[in-house]
């Protein structure tokens, strides 16, 4: 079967279900709408389509939206399986695989010892975050997973099962009745761990095999990968992430880790049936099975011959009973024993899944970060200092005096609050999460907790303040400054230089890696696409120089979204586009929203995405750091200044916010029950406190995709086409940036955007945006020397094929917005079909936030 055949079969099955459930007339209506959309795309009048949709009642409009949205859910499945099929059929070392990485490292002149040192030094940290771009209910995802499992065979029975699940999906409510709780988000994110765990052993075997083939010997190096999460610990702007929510999250991590380990131990126990004494007779061996491990008390194997099972039984019972156990050390000893006994294949294939799971997930599953806004951390410290009589107005102090006070307190080990005395509510909300992660670490080890991320870090005191809070519970934390706005990114190297010169802070840091988080979302919303990308580039170069000078290992933590406007794009390409010389101890990257489903819904897809990211990390970290031509950096400085000036002239125009609210569904998105976090930070509604996800999502819905390209025109004009072409050919960073811009521009659609422009009065801003888009496309194509996505024909074809099916949802959304905004109660009456249209467009476009 091919992708087209899969899509056709799924489409026909959906049509059969629609005809059965809603009647043949409804299916005819769906086909009529699709035909009219195609005719409009071909240049014919849109009057018949406009008349048909304007005459549809709310129920019919809702069903049309649902039909086209469900079609996209099925197409997405087919495309995912096509990727699986292509990956499974590809012979030899795939491009951007671990095999290719080792080949290229060898070609760069790195010997076996140097590559092993690189693997030991690096860590690719993937951090799950809860964001509303994954809009589907878990019930809906479950049906889709069942359908996906039958796509490979498509036997008559499989087609019947697919039809049954599509039938069930049509009658299943797509929208949540209530906003998801923090625990809902945690469970949704953790649902992908099982698939990832299934992919990791194959990756470890790929690494072992590639090392033998390239360097002619085995390696003790393990996958340089770890997983963490913000779900249940990200308090920035989310009042529902309470200490209790953090405690429940950590308990869930522990339970899921236990389930994962016990399952892996039972599988290894069943497989490793060898007797340690190879002369033992078969009759003396035990017939132990999976079921044996469920017994409360197990007897020793016959005559002690089954050493491997004896050890696995002991580990199983300790994990099952929640007893302290040196799990990893004992499994590594078991692995070494198998190899010493000449059982290397068994070690590679039968024990590696368990050993890899223990290494990566352990008894903690994922490391939970705590994130808080610097203003709230500072307020909590101020309250603590005031209540304890240390200082009455900490927040009123100049920065130098704040640092002096904080460092003086850090030199003292005494807590400020009397032991055993309850904290006031304000302080408990700040200190409570740290107490919860400390308790979890005491049970399952230090990896239960990751780092303490300080949002909107602007000064040294912002980074020191969490240390004061942590001292109240006697727990050591490592703060991570998060630099987000353009001004913060420009100031970041100075802040880091001052921070690393504070002896009290260096004593806390010790030999650990200093993490620095960079925010793509707010920097883009603040400065636009080109200026934000250049500010991030320069911040990394300059912060790296500061850390190198201070003798401190460092790792950047990239807060990327899935959309281009929030740092999205292929992970491997993004990593290869990092400034040379800035990857020291690895990278951390956020994994958000629909990216989790796109990347980790199938073990083969999970393996592919992880190997691409690891390929990029290995090559980028080993790449020498040549001096960039002055002409290039000067050109980016010019381009950045021109770009940010153009971007801010747009968003600071007095008419921009009313225009934005008219031509996007931002108010309707705020009604979606898709996340526990509000769409704005506290305060009067402004662009500044609007969160980046709904900002980007709104522009995705109307297909303007403004955050992914606006201002680039002026930047490229300031650079000049000949020099831009030279930079695109020779500079990975610039190439990655323009390739991402190509994706954003290709997913934009002026014909659809013009429909949304009808929602408001005519504005000069509309013409300005349309002209800027066309000129940006021309300049980008001149710089890359080809039409948009020329080098990515599969993606270009996918966009072309999807457009005729997304168009009806866009046009229905515009019609519904017009009706909803016409009366005071309109949004209440049409909320359901409107929100379904938001969901459908997100499914069709993908990379929405």
* 680 to 687, 689, 690, 692: CA distances (angstroms): 9, 6, 4, 9
**Among 504, 496, 488, residue whose Cα is nearest residue 559:** 488
Q: What is the residue-wise DSSP string for 113-131?
A: HHHHHHHHH--EEEEEE--
Cβ(129)–Cβ(590) below 8 Å: yes
From the list 381, 399, 378, the residue with the least C-alpha distance to 390 is: 381
What gap in Å lies between CA 418 and CA 729, rounded to an integer?
63
To the query of whether residue 131 is one of the catalytic residues in this protein, the response is: yes
Distance, in Å, from the CA atom of 105 to the CA atom of 101, rounded to the nearest integer, reads 6
The first and second tokens of residue 458, run together, are 């602007």
CA distances to 725, 758, 803 from 38, in Å: 36, 21, 9
Alpha-helical runs (H) found in 153-192: 156-170, 182-190
Cβ-count burial of 605 within 10 angstroms (0-12 exposed, 13-18 middle, 19+ buried)? buried
Terminal alpha carbon distance of the chain: 33
Catalytic residue among 131, 165, 602, 747: 131
**Residue in the structure block whose two tokens are 């400034």:** 579
Indicate which residue of 143, 525, 537, 602 is catalytic: 525
Give the number of other Cβ atoms within 10 Å of residue 626's Cβ: 8
Length of the chain counted residue by residue: 849
- Chain mean position to CA 219: 31
Rounded Cα distance, 644 and 637, in Å: 11
* Contact predicate 847/812, CB 8 Å: no
Residues 6 or more apart from 348 whose CB is under 8 A from it? 205, 208
Structure tokens at 320: 């099952």
Q: Are 509 and 552 in contact (CB under 8 A)?
A: yes
What does the alpha-carbon distance between residue 835 and residue 137 come to, in Å, rounded to a whole number?
13
Rounded Cα–Cα distance for residues 388 and 382 (Å) = 10
Say how far residue 62 (Cα) sits from the centre of its chain.
Answer: 31
HEC string of 759-793 equals: CCCCCHHHHHHHHHHHHHHHHHHHHHCCCCCCCCH
525 is catalytic: yes
Helices 193-215 and 603-622, axial angle in degrees (round to 10):
50
Run of H or E including 669: helix 666-669
Alpha-carbon distance 90 to 84, whole Å? Answer: 10
Of 769, 844, 757, the C-alpha closest to 799 is 844
* DSSP characters over 406-421: HHHHHH----SS-TTP
CA distance 647 to 712: 9
Query: Helix, strand or coil for residue 454?
Result: strand
| Residues whose CB is less than 8 angstroms from the CB of residue 232 and which lie 6 or more positions away in sequence, other chains included | 182, 183, 185, 186, 241, 245, 246, 248, 249, 250, 252, 368
The residues carrying an active-site annotation are: 131, 525
């Amino acid at each position: 079967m091919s992708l087209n055949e899969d899509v056709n079969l799924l489409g026909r099955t959906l049509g059969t279900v629609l005809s059965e459930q809603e009647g043949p007339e409804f299916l005819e209506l769906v086909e009529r709408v699709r035909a009219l959309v195609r005719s409009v795309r071909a240049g014919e009048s849109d009057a018949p389509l406009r008349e048909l949709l304007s005459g549809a009642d709310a129920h019919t409009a809702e069903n049309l939206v649902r039909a086209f949205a469900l079609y996209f859910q099925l197409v997405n499945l087919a495309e995912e399986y096509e990727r699986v099929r292509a990956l499974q059929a590809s012979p030899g070392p795939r491009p951007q695989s671990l095999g290719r990485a080792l080949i290229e490292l060898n070609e760069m002149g790195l010997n076996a010892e140097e590559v092993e040192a690189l693997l030991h030094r690096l860590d690719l940290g993937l951090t799950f975050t809860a964001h509303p771009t994954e809009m589907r209910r878990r019930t809906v995802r479950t049906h889709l997973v069942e359908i996906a499992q039958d796509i490979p065979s498509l036997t008559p029975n499989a087609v019947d099962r697919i039809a049954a699940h599509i039938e069930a999906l049509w009658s299943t409510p797509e929208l949540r009745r209530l906003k998801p709780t923090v625990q809902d988000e945690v469970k949704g994110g953790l649902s992908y761990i099982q698939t990832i765990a299934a992919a990791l052993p194959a990756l470890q075997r790929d690494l072992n095999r590639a090392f033998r083939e390239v360097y002619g010997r085995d390696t003790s190096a393990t996958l340089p990968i770890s997983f963490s999460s913000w779900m249940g610990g990200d308090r920035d702007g989310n009042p529902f992430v309470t200490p209790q929510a953090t405690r429940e999250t950590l308990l869930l991590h522990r339970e899921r880790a236990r389930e994962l380990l016990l399952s892996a131990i039972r599988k290894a126990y069943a497989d490793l049936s060898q007797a340690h004494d190879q002369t033992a007779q078969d009759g003396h061996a035990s017939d132990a099975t999976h079921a044996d491990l469920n017994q409360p008390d197990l007897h020793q194997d016959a005559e002690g011959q089954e050493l491997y099972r004896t050890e696995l039984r002991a580990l199983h019972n300790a994990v099952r009973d929640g007893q302290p156990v040196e799990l990893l050390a004992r499994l590594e000893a078991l692995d070494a024993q198998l190899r010493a006994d000449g059982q290397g294949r068994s070690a590679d294939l039968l024990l590696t899944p368990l050993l890899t799971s223990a290494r990566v997930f352990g008894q903690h599953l994922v490391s939970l970060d705590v994130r808080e806004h610097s203003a709230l951390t500072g307020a909590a410290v101020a309250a603590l200092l005031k209540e304890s009589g240390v200082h009455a107005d900490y927040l009123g102090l100049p920065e130098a005096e704040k640092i002096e006070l904080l460092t003086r307190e850090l030199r003292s080990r005494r807590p400020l609050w009397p032991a055993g005395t309850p904290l006031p509510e304000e302080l408990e909300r700040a200190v409570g999460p740290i107490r919860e992660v400390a308790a979890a670490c005491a049970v399952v080890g230090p990896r239960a907790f990751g780092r303490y991320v300080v949002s909107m870090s602007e000064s040294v005191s912002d980074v020191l303040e969490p240390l004061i809070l942590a001292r109240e519970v006697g727990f050591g934390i490592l703060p991570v400054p998060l630099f987000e706005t353009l001004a913060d990114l420009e100031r970041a190297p100075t802040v880091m230089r001052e921070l690393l010169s504070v002896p009290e802070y260096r004593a806390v840091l010790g030999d650990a890696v200093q993490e620095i988080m960079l925010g793509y979302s707010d920097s883009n919303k603040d400065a636009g696409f080109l200026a934000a990308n250049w500010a991030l580039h320069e911040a990394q170069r300059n912060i790296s120089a500061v850390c190198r000078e201070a003798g401190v290992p460092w790792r950047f933590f990239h807060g990327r979204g899935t959309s281009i406007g929030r740092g999205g794009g292929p992970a491997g390409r993004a990593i290869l586009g990092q400034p040379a010389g800035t990857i020291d101890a690895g990278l951390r990257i956020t994994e958000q929203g629909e990216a989790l489903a796109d990347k980790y819904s199938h073990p083969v897809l999970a393996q592919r995405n992880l190997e691409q990211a690891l390929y990029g990390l290995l090559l980028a970290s080993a790449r020498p750091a040549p001096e960039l031509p002055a002409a290039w950096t000067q050109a980016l400085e010019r381009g950045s200044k021109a770009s940010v000036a153009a971007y801010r002239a747009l968003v600071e125009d007095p008419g921009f916010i009313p225009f934005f609210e008219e031509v996007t569904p931002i108010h309707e998105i705020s009604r979606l029950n898709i996340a526990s976090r509000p769409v704005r930070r506290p305060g009067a509604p402004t662009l500044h406190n609007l969160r980046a996800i709904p900002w980007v999502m709104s522009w995705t819905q109307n297909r303007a995709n403004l955050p992914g390209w606006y201002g680039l025109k002026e930047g490229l004009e300031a650079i000049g086409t000949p020099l831009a072409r030279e930079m695109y050919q020779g500079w990975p960073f610039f190439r990655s940036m323009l390739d991402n811009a190509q994706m954003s521009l290709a997913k934009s659609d002026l014909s659809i955007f013009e429909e949304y422009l009808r929602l408001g009065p005519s504005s000069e801003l509309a013409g300005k945006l349309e002209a800027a888009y066309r000129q940006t496309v021309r300049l980008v194509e001149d710089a890359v020397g080809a039409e948009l996505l020329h080098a990515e024909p599969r993606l270009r074809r996918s966009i072309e094929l999807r457009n005729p099916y997304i168009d009806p949802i866009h046009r229905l959304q515009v019609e519904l917005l017009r009706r909803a905004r016409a009366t005071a109660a309109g949004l209440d009456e049409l909320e359901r079909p409107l929100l379904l249209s938001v969901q459908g467009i997100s499914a069709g476009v993908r990379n929405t936030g």
